[in-house]
């Protein structure tokens, strides 16, 4: 356990030295990559919002179509009942 604790300062020193040795060109490249990633993430978020809006509109259209189909089915069933009733009345005469 003590030998592991003794290694901690060595690891920290190696990390600090490694981080300190990066030059400004590397830092600029990393910042540029980070900016590009942020820009892509923002574009992806905008596209996701647009897709969500289109999905909501499609959902509303589907609900309206379903309601129209139910109305048409109810009308068809009512017409079928009227025709059947008229046929039965004509057969009884």
Q: Please, what are the averages of pLDDT over each run of 10 residues along the chain (93 residues)? A: 56 58 80 92 96 98 98 97 93 83
pLDDT of residue 23: 79
pLDDT of residue 28: 87
Q: 3-state class of 79 per DSSP? A: helix
pLDDT of residue 24: 84
pLDDT of residue 7: 56
pLDDT of residue 18: 56
40-75 b/e (C-beta count within 10 Å ≥ 16 → b): eeeeeeeeeeeeeeeeeeeeeeeeeeeeeeeeeeee
H or E stretch at 47:
helix 24-92
pLDDT of residue 54: 98
């Amino acid at each position: 356990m003590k030998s592991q604790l003794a290694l901690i300062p060595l690891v920290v020193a190696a990390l600090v030295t490694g981080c300190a040795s990066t030059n400004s060109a590397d830092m600029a490249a990393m910042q540029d990559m980070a900016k590009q990633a942020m820009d892509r993430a923002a574009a992806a978020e905008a596209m996701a919002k647009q897709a969500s809006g289109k999905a909501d509109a499609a959902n509303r259209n589907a609900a309206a179509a379903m309601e129209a189909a139910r109305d048409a089915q109810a009308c068809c069933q009512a017409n079928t009942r009227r025709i059947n009733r008229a046929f039965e009345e004509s057969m009884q005469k």
